Amino acid sequence: MIEFEWPWVFLILPLPLLLRFFLPVAKQVQDASLSVPFLDDIQPQKKNYSGQTKFPWLLVLSIIAWLCLVLAATRPQWLNERVDIPISGRDLMLAVDLSGSMRNVDFVLDGTLTNRLQAVKHVAGEFIKKRKGDRLGLILFGRQPYLQTPLTFDINTVNTHLQESMIGIAGNSTAIGDAIVLATKRLREKQQDSRVLILLTDGENTAGEIEPLRAAQLAKSQQLKIYTIGIGANLIISSSAFRTRSQKNNAIDEKTLTAIADQTGGQYYRAHDIEELNKIYQVIDELEPIEQDTQSYRPLTALFYWPLSLAILLAFIVSLTRLIIKP
């Protein structure tokens, strides 16, 4: 069916007649620098000796051009059949730690030692690509949390923002509690049964205004399920120009991360290497999607350019005729 987006524009249809009858007649000036042929065309033409109106078809073309111009201004458009978009999935927020300790090189990626953030980018990036149908968002946190990507179905943008993240951009300490609060705030207006936060960190809470367990209580009150992931090998390898040494990794506060997950109905995972991190994301990826309201839309096809093109063509014909054939 045809729909007019601005139907009130039809009210200006009688405008030329109103101008003709209510404005005073302009004085004829022989050397006028500008002439408006349109108003002359709608005025009664002088009759020749045979009693017939001279060039009456110019008036008809002018009227049709005006009608087409008004029609184009109403923005006519064709409404196609309704298309339903079934949407299933979760409102899923990723919170990724960018503190200074993510520089530690204790993961092997494609046979090469790499730091923790690069390992997260690789595995989480593949996880994001599989979450079609979910609304994903991204929080980056260090000393402070930042909403890098609001919830969106555009998973490519979420992955791009993750790949562009840099260690230390949010500070070198770790505000786990504040990151949970920010995620809770962004998810609280969404469907209750579909709220999920995946929190990934390699340390303990060392900054922020709110303690992690208190933030977990707030998340629980909003029915936000939190899956926590502790990332880091048991041994941290450091090298210098003279020697390479390893030391035990005691930085991860597994007790707090486990309590956060248990309190909100989620689960805590520990990733010592790339393989374990992959398995963790595979487990989370198997979560059953929650059916949400079906969205629908009706594709629109713009039609205004047809009457507009005709109006321009008719106006050109009328103007050209008046220039060539002098009355």
Q: What does the domain layout of the chain look like in residue ranges? A: 2-24+34-44+52-81+298-324, 91-285
Question: For residues 187 and 214, is the Cβ–Cβ distance under 8 A?
Answer: no
Q: How many residues does the chain have?
A: 327
Alpha-carbon distance 211 to 25, whole Å? 82
Q: How is domain 91-285 classified at the architecture level of CATH?
A: 3-Layer(aba) Sandwich (3.40)
DSSP assignment, residue 289? Answer: P
Residue owning tokens 């730690």: 97
Helix pair angle (176-187, 254-264), 10° resolution: 20
Q: How far is CA 261 from CA 162, 225, 254, in A?
A: 23, 8, 11
Contacts of 238 (CB under 8 A, 6+ apart): 105, 244, 245, 246, 247
pLDDT for 45 equals 47
pLDDT for 249 equals 52
Question: For residues 138 and 120, is the Cβ–Cβ distance under 8 A?
Answer: no
Q: Which of these, 228, 283, 281, lies nearest to 256 by C-alpha position?
A: 228
Alpha-carbon distance 35 to 314, whole Å? 18
pLDDT for 211 equals 93
Mean pLDDT of successive 10-residue stretches along the chain, which has 327 residues: 87 86 69 49 46 66 91 88 66 90 83 86 87 87 93 91 91 91 86 80 86 93 91 63 53 88 91 84 69 67 89 90 74
Q: How far is CA 87 from CA 94, 281, 299, in A?
A: 20, 22, 18
Give exposure, 8-44, as e/b (b: 16+ Cβ within 10 Å): ebeeeeeebeeeeeeeeeeeeeeeeeeeeebeebbee
